[in-house]
């Protein structure tokens, strides 16, 4: 049986940073499910499909092949065979992704891939519905959050470090809108699983959060 750690939470809570560190410590595979949804979002953006057009999104998602592989321990996402890692981290893709990830066909396709990965290997998986839907029997479940102002500032600094133009106020607005959509959608909305441990990282360092999760694994 594989050992699974599920980390859910809103945008910018620090899930991926923490999940990567925990995976390294435990020698598990890190599965970034947001990146898979982002690859889908990128596809719809490129095709000029509106996220609200549920019929088109459902139909077109049949043509999308998303796979992942690992290069030097880093997850690489392929969209129809193309490595799209460098293209999916923009706010434009993030907003499109949140909008089209409400679609049941999109979710079904990616959840199956995620469940297969977790069955075959020990994983730390992060996303929005991991503890509630993808891996309901995960060994450790975390709900990681932080205030929206803190999360916006983190995302702002991350984008700035990459040399991208950005506006703090706009980022916070986008984050609040995205959270509201992710938490209020009909299918597998973002919420804390009943058996998940709640961690607020607003006043915690990365080390503290990682330490807490490793402790919970013991």
- Applying CB under 6 A, among 37, 44, 143, 156 the residue interacting with ligand DC is 37
Identify residues 138-177 at the interface with ligand DC (CB under 6 A).
none
Identify which of 204, 215, 205, 198 has the alpha carbon closest to the alpha carbon of residue 7.
Answer: 198
- Residue that the structure tokens 């460098």 belong to: 86
Near ligand DC by CB under 6 A, which window of 74-82, 121-129, 151-159, 205-213? Answer: 121-129
- Applying CB under 6 A, among 5, 84, 96, 97 the residue interacting with ligand DC is 97
CA distances from 162 to 23, 28, 33, 61, 78 (A): 24, 27, 22, 30, 22
Secondary structure of residue 184 in the 3-state scheme: helix
Closer of 111 and 218 to ligand DC (Cβ): 111
Q: Is 182 in the site for ligand DC (CB under 6 A)?
A: yes
- Cα of 195 vs its chain's centroid, Å: 20
DSSP state of 132: I
Q: Is 127 in the site for ligand DC (CB under 6 A)?
A: yes
Closer of 56 and 115 to ligand DC (Cβ): 115
Tell me the closest approach of the beta carbon of residue 202 to ligand DC, in angstroms.
18
- Residues lying near ligand DC in the complex (CB under 6 A): 11, 33-34, 37-38, 94, 97-98, 101, 127-129, 178, 182
């Amino acid at each position: 049986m594989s050992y699974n750690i599920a980390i859910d939470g809103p945008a910018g809570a620090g899930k991926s940073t923490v999940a990567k560190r925990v995976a390294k410590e435990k020698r598990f595979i890190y599965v970034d499910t947001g990146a898979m949804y982002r690859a889908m979002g990128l596809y719809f953006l490129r095709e000029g499909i509106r996220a609200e057009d549920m019929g088109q999104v459902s139909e077109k998602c049949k043509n999308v092949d998303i796979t992942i592989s690992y290069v030097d321990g880093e997850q690489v996402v392929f969209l129809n065979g193309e490595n799209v890692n460098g293209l999916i981290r923009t706010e434009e893709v993030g907003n499109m992704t949140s909008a089209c990830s409400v679609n049941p066909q999109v979710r079904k396709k990616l959840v199956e891939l995620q469940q297969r990965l977790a069955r075959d290997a020990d994983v730390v998986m992060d996303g929005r519905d991991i503890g509630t839907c993808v891996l309901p029997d995960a060994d450790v479940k975390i709900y990681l959050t932080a205030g929206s102002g803190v999360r916006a500032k983190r995302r702002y600094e991350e984008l700035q470090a990459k040399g991208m133009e950005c506006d703090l106020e706009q980022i916070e607005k986008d984050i609040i809108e995205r959270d509201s959509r992710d938490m209020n959608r009909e299918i597998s909305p973002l919420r804390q699983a009943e058996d998940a441990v709640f961690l607020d990282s607003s006043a915690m360092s990365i080390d503290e959060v990682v330490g807490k999760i490793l402790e919970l694994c013991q």
